[in-house]
Amino acid sequence: MLAIATADGRTASTAGALRALGATVESEDGTVGYIRATVPVALAARAATLEGITHVDVEEPVGVPDPTP
What tens digit of pLDDT does each residue of 6-55 get? Answer: 999 999 999 999 999 999 999 999 999 999 999 998 998 999 999 999 99
- pLDDT at res. 6: 96
Bridge-partner residues for 2, per DSSP?
37, 58
Pick left, alpha or beta for residue 19 (phi over 0 → left; psi -120 to 50 → alpha; otherwise beta). Answer: alpha
Is residue 33 in some structural domain?
A: yes
Is residue 41 in some structural domain?
A: yes
Residue scoring higher pLDDT (31 or 61): 31
Is residue 35 in some structural domain?
A: yes
Is residue 45 in some structural domain?
A: yes
What is the domain range of residue 36?
A: 2-58
Is residue 25 in some structural domain?
A: yes
Is residue 34 in some structural domain?
A: yes
For residue 12, give every residue at least 6 positions away whose Cβ sits within 8 Å of its Cβ, in sequence order, or none: 28, 30
- The total number of structural domains in the chain stands at 1
- Largest alpha-carbon pair distance within the chain? 51
Q: How far apart are CA 64 and CA 41, in angstroms?
A: 24
- pLDDT at res. 61: 65
Is residue 64 in some structural domain?
A: no
Is residue 68 in some structural domain?
A: no
